[in-house]
Chain A
Amino acid sequence: AQSVTQLGSHVSVSEGALVLLRCNYSSSVPPYLFWYVQYPNQGLQLLLKYTTGATLVKGINGFEAEFKKSETSFHLTKPSAHMSDAAEYFCAVSEGYGGSQGNLIFGKGTKLSVKP
């Protein structure tokens, strides 16, 4: 069965500092991996995704993530945090094929705070 582990339920950084949100996954098949962001009282917005091909994936708002198969990781980074990045971030894994193809398994989320 697939699963996602996000290390750290709450991460706090200073404005301008590096953002690193950790995600490890478990999957018996080649995974599709996603990062979503959720602002208060809103739905989820896709930041970036990895399906196949290049392992370094660039997304919106300056975020990027690198798929490392050997480490079963898909960590999210941003070189310089902005106040507007404060939100909840969810990592998700999807089955690439099969009966539940496309269904997402989410991690518990990491709340990012940005200090001025």
Chain B
Amino acid sequence: EADIYQTPRYLVIGTGKKITLECSQTMGHDKMYWYQQDPGMELHLIHYSYGVNSTEKGDLSSESTVSRIRTEHFPLTLESARPSHTSQYLCASSAIPGQGLNNEQFFGPGTRLTVL
């Protein structure tokens, strides 16, 4: 079944730790996205990628980094977590816009990160 997966769903970690949030999709999509969502707030785009070896920064500045070595995998890494990184992180994917395909974004269930 085509889907988009995120692990872990919940993560509580201490300040200074390195963390990687995983995102994988079996949708066959080229474009992938990471959003940050604070409680009761809108989503802000922090990273996106058009395909393998492509990464772009989004509208919201973030200390996180991303990589795209495989089409279906788009992990997000924080080298040194801080309490200000506490948030929900949502991964999404879509077809490349303009290719005549439905280009709506499909979202994973999210990772809720708490940094103590």
Residues of A at under 8 Å CB distance from B?
9, 32, 34, 36, 41-46, 49, 90, 94, 96-97, 101-109, 111
Q: Report B7-46 CB contacts with A as 1/0, cut-off 8 Å.
A: 0000000000000000000000001010000001111110
**A49-B104, A101-B98 known; A106-B110 Cβ under 8 A:** no
Does B48 belong to the interface (CB within 8 Å)? yes
Residues of B at under 8 Å CB distance from A?
4, 6, 31, 33, 40-45, 48, 58-59, 90, 92, 94, 96-98, 103-110, 112
A-B pairs with lowest CB-CB distance, top 6: A43-B107, A102-B97, A44-B107, A101-B97, A106-B42, A108-B42
Asked if A90 contacts B42 (CB within 8 A), the reply is yes
Q: Which residue of A lies closest to B44 (CB)?
A: A106
Asked if B31 contacts A102 (CB within 8 A), the reply is yes
> Shortest Cβ distance from A39 into chain B, in angstroms?
10
C-alpha spacing A108/B59, complex, angstroms:
15
C-alpha spacing A44/B41, complex, angstroms:
13
Contacts of B44 in A (CB 8 A): 106
Contacts of A105 in B (CB 8 A): 59
> Shortest Cβ distance from A28 into chain B, in angstroms?
16
Contacts of A108 in B (CB 8 A): 41-42
Contacts of B92 in A (CB 8 A): 43-44
C-alpha spacing A104/B93, complex, angstroms:
12
Asked if B104 contacts A34 (CB within 8 A), the reply is yes
**A97-B98, A103-B58 known; A90-B107 Cβ under 8 A:** no
Asked if B110 contacts A43 (CB within 8 A), the reply is yes
**A42-B109, A43-B108 known; A104-B45 Cβ under 8 A:** yes
